[in-house]
Structure 1
Amino acid sequence: MTQNKYQTVGTSVKHESAHLHVTGRAQYTDDIPEVQGTLHAAFGLSERAHARIVSMDLTAVRAAPGVVAVITLDDVPGEKYVGPVIADEPVFADGKVDYVGQPLFAVAATSHDLARRAARLAKVEYENLEPLLDIKSAADKQAYVLPPARISKGNVPETLAQGPHRHQGSFYCGGQEQFYLEGQVAYALPGENAEMQVFCSTQHPSEMQFIIAHALHQPAHTVKVQCRRMGGGFGGKESQSWPFAAVAALLAHHTGRPVKLRADRDDDFMMTGKRHDFRVEYDVAYDDDGLIKAIKFEQQLRCGYSADLSGAVADRQVFHTDNTYFLETFDILSLRVKTNTQSNTAFRGFGGPQGIMAIEYVIEDIARRLGKDPLDVRRRNFYGKTERNVTPYQMTVEDNVIHELVDQLEQTAEYRRRREDITRFNAQNQVLKKGLALVPVKFGISFTATHLNQAGALLHIYTDGSVLINHGGTEMGQGLNTKVAQVVAEELGIGIEHVRVSATDTSKVSNTSATAASSGTDLNGKAAQDAARKIKAVLVAYAADHYGCDTADVVFRSNQVHCGERVILPFAKFVQEAYNARVPLWSSGFYRTPKIHYDFKTLTGRPFYYFVYGAACAEVIIDTLTGENRLVRADVLYDAGRPINPAVDIGQIEGGFIQGMGWLTTEELWWNKDGRLMTHAPSTYKIPSISDCPEALNVAFFSNGNVENSVYQSKAVGEPPLPLALSVFFAIRDAVHAAGNQPGTLAPLDAPATAEQILRAVHAVAPRLKLPELATEHG
């Protein structure tokens, strides 16, 4: 890292809410003191995956103790179908149900417990329809929520036929539950003149505002949505907080009383969408060194019953199928498959990890078939600096540092030496086997929906020198507000203790984008910087005029205002003086990401402002008799540009890596034959715990300023760390190969690599071990 030239930016300032988190005083939506007369709501949910509703008797629900109101689709005064992109989701089921857990009605009662008990008294008669429950069956029947998309270049069939090496394969990768610590929750308070204020745990307050307004059949200016913080989001609260926000508001409108809707964890699991699971079929041709000559992909992405954000997720999967590799001749077909399951949605990485996994699986297979180290095959296919540097979607890679970054990690992680050590270990141990993998990542930063790449901010300086900044991003523990405060403090030359970031509020900054796509700091930090610079320019002009300075000599630093080498006044006194001189002490800021453009029809253009690069080296050990695995050591080298807050960024990298490891090793989603999600609680769904973290988790920054004009040359850290955990999955597969010890044999390992999956793969490559018969794999 280069020496920091700033006062606040580039330093490890503590998280602005850290003291509140650790003392339990941080106020989340459910902690807001309840107004007298507050009602509590619950949903009545479908018990069938696909069926017509023959009848729905809610008599017992209405008569239950404490019940004040029950509403169905007929009670929605405005738009009855909503959605973040396509309005294809009914607020409540409309004559039929499309998945187990779909809301049928909602009840408001005097307590949370009474509402939940009442909701279970409904008598619903169904006429079953045939459900589509797995990806392959739905893809075979061409059931799609959106039309397929394809990008291609060159004569793929001819180049595939020319080889000289060619093989086909397929694999499955499961989805992932967001498992935010704070569940979905909204609190709606009706006001005068049909006003509605909604406190909501959401990554997208503006979208909640508009969906509520549409459902109530009211203009947006009558609805105010506020979010101070979330206890995690991970994409699960980008679009799918709408049922909770909208139904709380509908019940408040219907009763004239405040209504809180807090989902039980099981209901949350059953109702809401996850990371898209997917199947990939591929056909690849390559030379003796592993250089890919042509590749053909069919990516089958499970979207669930409605479109939600699946189009953008699937596009981003396509855009990351190249990862760090130049593909000369290719055909990538993306199928957006419809199933009678929860409507899948955003999850950290937003399709990027799925695309990266697709190409990395192929790279590993090529290396195994050729008897080469996968790292050497990866290097052979890397993007070049000045040639072989155009992506499949026709964007030129201008900031490529993957060669230098991987070289550095190979040395610091001692990859070659450890590879030799592991080979010796495996030769000496029959039951325990070790594996090693080094996986690179190139991750595009920006919303692929170009219009979302904008942000606003509102800044106030008070006469005591304190500063209040409001912006359109939402804080979910990732440190966004801390970074924005650092940016404002840096621009105004004051200590961060003088800056406060207020709750995200649609009545202060309007028409905001979701806090997603790793763009929170990039967009909102720039908007806050713009607001600070505007107000600073006015103050500089005043100081120059009043004190006889050149504007270029007026400097704000260390809580003081300087004219050259002379201190004019402390910042607080200077602000009071400026106020007395009727200088405006507030300003708005705005930012729109430059350079980007994207054609939805052809999937070509420049969807990303820049790329983040990284690589991870993981070492694992597996037990071939039980299928257990453990991550022994992980080394991560990450290109964060010039970090605004190194401590926060390291936390994001570590957290993203471990969350990705959970996706690929333990977090298994399983639906039974009736379409019911059986892994719907902490007792049946295993996220990583502290004991799953390796004793050695080494994270370092790669020294590399952003070539683009990002905020202080920083780079995003929200999503790119997660796919680095693919190194864990491929290290496990490497250990499975060691168990078979058969050159050229491919272990059929699907993700997540649970103990069962590992045993199945070991049995496939080493049948002599006579492992017990295992259950049939996912469809």
Structure 2
Amino acid sequence: MSRKTTPAMTMEEMTAQAKAGLATGVGKSVKHESAEKQVSGEALYIDDRGEFPNQLHVYALMSPHAHANITKLDVSPCYKVPGVRTVITAEDVPGELDIGPTLPGDPMLADGKVVYVGQPVIAVAADSLDNARKGAEAAIVEYELLPAALDVEEALAQELFVTDSHTQKRGDSAAAIANAEHVLEGSLHVGGQEHFYLETQVSSVVPTEDGGVIVYCSTQNPTEVQKLVSSVLGVSMHKVLIDMRRMGGGFGGKETQAAAPACIAAVIANQTGQPVKFRLPRREDMMMTGKRHPFFNQYKVGFDDNGVIQGIEIVVSGNAGHSPDLSRSIVDRAMFHSDNAYYLGNATVTGHCVKTNTASNTAYRGFGGPQGMMTIEHVMDTIACHLKKDPLEVRKANYYSEGRDETHYYQKVEDNFIHEMTADLEMSCEYEKRRKAIAEFNANSPILKKGISITPVKFGISFTATFLNQAGALVTVYTDGSISLNHGGTEMGQGLNTKVAQIVAETFSVDIGAIQVTATNTEKVPNTSPTAASSGTDLNGKAAQNAALTIKERMVNFASSHFDVSPKDVAFSNGIVSIGDKQTMTFADFTELCWFNQISLAASGFYRTPKIFYDHEKARGRPFYYFAYGVSCSEVIVDTLTGEYKVLRADILHDVGASLNPAIDIGQVEGGFIQGMGWLTTEELVWNDKGQLMTSGPASYKIPAVADTPEIFNTRLVENRANPEDTVFHSKAVGEPPFMLAISVWSAIRDAVVSVADEGEIPHLPAPATPEQVYNAIKQARKGKSPLPFEM
């Protein structure tokens, strides 16, 4: 019954192959597992799946009002549209109507009241999307308008919150500020951001014979979709299977908000017994779903003549939208990161989740961390402007250091090497030389002004909701030596599947080509955490390694017993298994031998992050397993007549520990930087006075394009710096931390504005720094005077 799947090799050939070294294991720049399929268009996404017989398409009618009672709802005209099969309202949901991820507040369909423009009121299923849209538009809906809270400052003043507020306190900030040589206070609006994933929210649902459903869903959180679909259907979770092969982008937008389309489609599939697809068109997707939380942040800071902070009070107020969603955890992370890389000393940080009548805002790359960091970086630039110092000098004076290494939530900052990273980047990007050249350029250029800035990143890695820091995996080794790998993470283009496959390849010392990563599936790996918080590889990689090590240990013990050698004499190397001096065989042949001798070749793995905890009542703990660090330098040029600007150069040095895949990591760093640059410069969300999103498509909402990337773009990973914590192969997360490197672009623009400011004027620049905002900042800094050296 023996089956040879590899050509026979001599002992010498096997030994040579083993010594050659694994080409696709950990630390190698292996290409993304779907790269060729994606660039050729062969990669299958939910909407690419073949149509099922009798498949229905769904369109949801959205609320045109920010806050109103529904006084009349007549769906009978919908059925007069050809092709319409059914219409559902809140009353047609057989189970629970509310699909809030953590706290209630998110009805699947409006139930007697609408609370934001874009809220789904009814869902129509028809034989085509066009017919479903026409059917939905035929419905008769009448409203009684109610007062709407649309301005975050007004809602904050009225104490409209979706959850309780929270405060973190270390020392006596009020006394420290009162005794400081200098005191400044102010506020900063930090705008939101549309996820703008290439694949909009989409689910395809097939009813099963036992009253359940199979849901093909573009989601970062299959288990949550499974839980909520089972809830709205009124069935147990084992009746619901979620299958997720890949997403066309997520960035946090598909962590919680993928659930609504899945649930609506599932209710219709359950009611009709037909397959149902619900894909949101771009405009509907942007209006119906939440964004990155806009923040309104306030501060009061006391500091000495060197710019060193003595005491600080920060209030971060996240615009949650109409419901809790994940706002409490997001505002918590904004609070955790209000220090960024700086020792705040005596500090009080307060966080509010403000309620407004807009779409419920949700997770986005950085998960509140970027909004928290913006305030302290604004403070650093403001202190420097006030003291007439180089902002980098002020930043370095406030860095965490020995004896000044405890955060305002009482976590010790360990393995901190931000000082040496900054010094490295300063030298490699020639900061001092360029700073002098920019000063000379600005002195001789009346209209165009340059700015430069170096900003740091210290980003905590772990879910702030501690229980989410767990993951599972399933590894199966077949008798021909091929390996099937399934884990609880989801692939959204970030290379998670590639990295986890490399981890398994390294564990067995086989080529990555022997490993097939299968679709994330709630039947194979249950009770998963979302792929978010930069934890995808940390958690799922460790779980997969755990499963692979379990199988490998069985194989080693078998070889030791079967060939009568010590377990330490059994070695796996580059597809070859050496058993002392008695036997050498390919991994495939050894696998088959294990099977013949009844050795189990499948195992589930599990991992939970150690050491972390946070006491919300005491506002102290260790919420993060470790910190990832980064430093970036950006140079810009600004047209002071128009406020237009261009990023001329960016230099990045980023810490990923011992890189699992340098090519993918550099791609994540550069992609995160550009996405962050868009958030802080061009991506402006605008609502009218009725609460309607006016920037609801690419014609009015500008994400960065190729032409927006810096002309000079230098990216390096910190070398020879393994993570001291026991992460998978001592790597560090790389998904979210690079996003905040783009703060250097915003600071560089502000630096250019400072160069034209009148004596004593400190420019104020909100985010995003659109050309209009830059122009206004220049006008304010010059007290309304023309930037020209002469009058027109």
Q: TM-score, normalised by structure 2?
A: 0.96
Contact 2:245 2:520 in 1 (8 A): yes
CA distance in 2, matches of 1:308, 1:418: 45
CA distance in 1, matches of 2:618, 2:496: 34
Matched, 1:579 2:558: no
> 1:443-592, aligned counterparts within 5 Å?
443-564=459-580, 568-592=584-608
Cα offset for 1:544?
A: 1.2
CA distance in 2, matches of 1:204, 1:571: 35
Cα offset for 1:406?
A: 0.7
Contact 2:22 2:509 in 1 (8 A): no
CA distance in 2, matches of 1:248, 1:600: 38
Q: After superposition, what is the alpha-carbon deviation per residue over 1:631-673, rounded to whole angstroms, capped at 9, x for unaligned? A: 0000000000010000000000000000000000000000000
Please state whether the residue corresponding to 1:465 is helix, strand or coil. Answer: coil
CA distance in 2, matches of 1:771, 1:322: 35
Q: Which residue of 2 aligns with 1:605?
A: 621
Contact 2:499 2:541 in 1 (8 A): yes
CA distance in 2, matches of 1:564, 1:711: 28
Q: Which residue of 2 aligns with 1:103?
A: 120
Amino acid at match of 1:664: L
Matched, 1:641 2:657: yes
Q: After superposition, what is the alpha-carbon deviation per residue over 1:61-93, rounded to whole angstroms, capped at 9, x for unaligned? A: 122110001001101111111211102211111
Mark the CA change 1:440 to 1:565 in structure 2 (over 3 Å): closer, same or farther. Answer: farther
Cα offset for 1:291?
A: 0.5
Matched, 1:332 2:340: no
Mark the CA change 1:254 to 1:340 in structure 2 (over 3 Å): closer, same or farther. Answer: same
Q: Which residue of 1 aligns with 2:681?
A: 665
Cα offset for 1:585?
A: 1.0
Structure 1 stretches of at least 4 aligned residues deviating more than 6 Å after TM superposition: none
Mark the CA change 1:567 to 1:13 in structure 2 (over 3 Å): closer, same or farther. Answer: farther
Q: Which residue of 2 aligns with 1:152?
A: 169
Q: Which residue of 2 aligns with 1:681?
A: 697
Please state whether the residue corresponding to 2:663 is helix, strand or coil. Answer: helix
Contact 1:488 1:532 in 2 (8 A): yes
Contact 1:185 1:260 in 2 (8 A): yes
CA distance in 2, matches of 1:693, 1:623: 18
Flag structure 1 segments of 5+ consecutive residues without an equivalent.
773-779
> 1:697-716, aligned counterparts within 5 Å?
697-703=713-719, 704-716=721-733
CA distance in 1, matches of 2:60, 2:555: 54
CA distance in 2, matches of 1:771, 1:124: 54
Q: Which residue of 1 aligns with 2:426?
A: 410
> 1:15-34, aligned counterparts within 5 Å?
15-34=32-51
Cα offset for 1:548?
A: 2.1
Cα offset for 1:196?
A: 0.5
Q: Residue 36 of structure 1: which of 49, 53, 62 is its match? A: 53
Cα offset for 1:768?
A: 5.5
Please state whether the residue corresponding to 2:85 is helix, strand or coil. Answer: strand
Cα offset for 1:6?
A: 6.5
Cα offset for 1:717?
A: 0.5
Q: Which residue of 2 aligns with 1:241?
A: 258
Matched, 1:761 2:780: no
Q: Which residue of 1 aligns with 2:160?
A: 143
Q: After superposition, what is the alpha-carbon deviation per residue over 1:120-169, rounded to whole angstroms, capped at 9, x for unaligned? A: 22221111111111110100111000111111122222221112101111
> 1:109-148, aligned counterparts within 5 Å?
109-148=126-165
CA distance in 1, matches of 2:565, 2:134: 72
Contact 1:371 1:744 in 2 (8 A): no
Q: After superposition, what is the alpha-carbon deviation per residue over 1:196-251, rounded to whole angstroms, capped at 9, x for unaligned? A: 10000000000000000010000000000010000000000000001111111011
CA distance in 2, matches of 1:453, 1:611: 15
> 1:379-418, aligned counterparts within 5 Å?
379-385=396-402, 387-418=403-434
Mark the CA change 1:565 to 1:440 in structure 2 (over 3 Å): closer, same or farther. Answer: farther
CA distance in 2, matches of 1:595, 1:342: 36
Contact 2:63 2:118 in 1 (8 A): yes
How many residues are matched? 767
Amino acid at match of 2:630: G
Amino acid at match of 2:243: Q
Please state whether the residue corresponding to 1:79 is helix, strand or coil. Answer: coil
Contact 2:99 2:260 in 1 (8 A): no
Please state whether the residue corresponding to 2:764 is helix, strand or coil. Answer: coil
Amino acid at match of 1:622: V
CA distance in 1, matches of 2:264, 2:197: 21
Structure 1 stretch displaced more, 395-404 or 211-220: 395-404
Q: Which residue of 1 aligns with 2:319?
A: 302
Q: After superposition, what is the alpha-carbon deviation per residue over 1:613-642, rounded to whole angstroms, capped at 9, x for unaligned? A: 001000000111111110000000000001
Cα offset for 1:683?
A: 0.6
Cα offset for 1:600?
A: 2.5
Matched, 1:62 2:79: yes
Contact 1:369 1:743 in 2 (8 A): no
CA distance in 2, matches of 1:263, 1:564: 60
CA distance in 2, matches of 1:318, 1:187: 38
> 1:152-171, aligned counterparts within 5 Å?
152-171=169-188
Contact 1:370 1:744 in 2 (8 A): no
CA distance in 2, matches of 1:231, 1:529: 27
CA distance in 2, matches of 1:97, 1:487: 48
Q: Which residue of 1 aligns with 2:450?
A: 434
Structure 1 stretch displaced more, 742-751 or 388-397: 742-751
Matched, 1:732 2:749: yes
Contact 1:368 1:743 in 2 (8 A): no
CA distance in 1, matches of 2:300, 2:92: 52
Flag structure 2 segments of 5+ consecutive residues without an equivalent.
1-19
CA distance in 1, matches of 2:85, 2:490: 33
Amino acid at match of 2:193: Q
Cα offset for 1:567?
A: 5.0
Matched, 1:314 2:309: no
Amino acid at match of 2:651: D
CA distance in 1, matches of 2:622, 2:647: 37
Mark the CA change 1:275 to 1:160 in structure 2 (over 3 Å): closer, same or farther. Answer: same
CA distance in 2, matches of 1:756, 1:716: 36
CA distance in 1, matches of 2:94, 2:301: 54
CA distance in 2, matches of 1:446, 1:129: 41
Q: Which residue of 1 aligns with 2:13?
A: none
Please state whether the residue corresponding to 1:721 is helix, strand or coil. Answer: helix
Q: Which residue of 1 aligns with 2:384?
A: 367
CA distance in 2, matches of 1:83, 1:734: 43
Amino acid at match of 1:408: D
Please state whether the residue corresponding to 1:524 is helix, strand or coil. Answer: helix
Q: Which residue of 2 aligns with 1:212?
A: 229
Amino acid at match of 2:504: V
Q: TM-score, normalised by structure 1?
A: 0.97
Amino acid at match of 2:515: V
Structure 1 stretch displaced more, 174-183 or 572-581: 572-581
Amino acid at match of 2:735: G
CA distance in 2, matches of 1:454, 1:261: 31
Please state whether the residue corresponding to 1:225 is helix, strand or coil. Answer: strand
Amino acid at match of 2:29: S
Mark the CA change 1:367 to 1:407 in structure 2 (over 3 Å): closer, same or farther. Answer: same
Q: Residue 647 of structure 2: which of 628, 631, 637 is its match? A: 631
Q: Residue 206 of structure 2: which of 166, 179, 189 is its match? A: 189
Contact 1:318 1:332 in 2 (8 A): yes
Please state whether the residue corresponding to 2:737 is helix, strand or coil. Answer: coil
Q: Which residue of 1 aligns with 2:191?
A: 174
CA distance in 2, matches of 1:185, 1:178: 15
Q: Residue 671 of structure 2: which of 650, 655, 658 is its match? A: 655
Contact 1:228 1:503 in 2 (8 A): yes
Contact 1:226 1:505 in 2 (8 A): yes
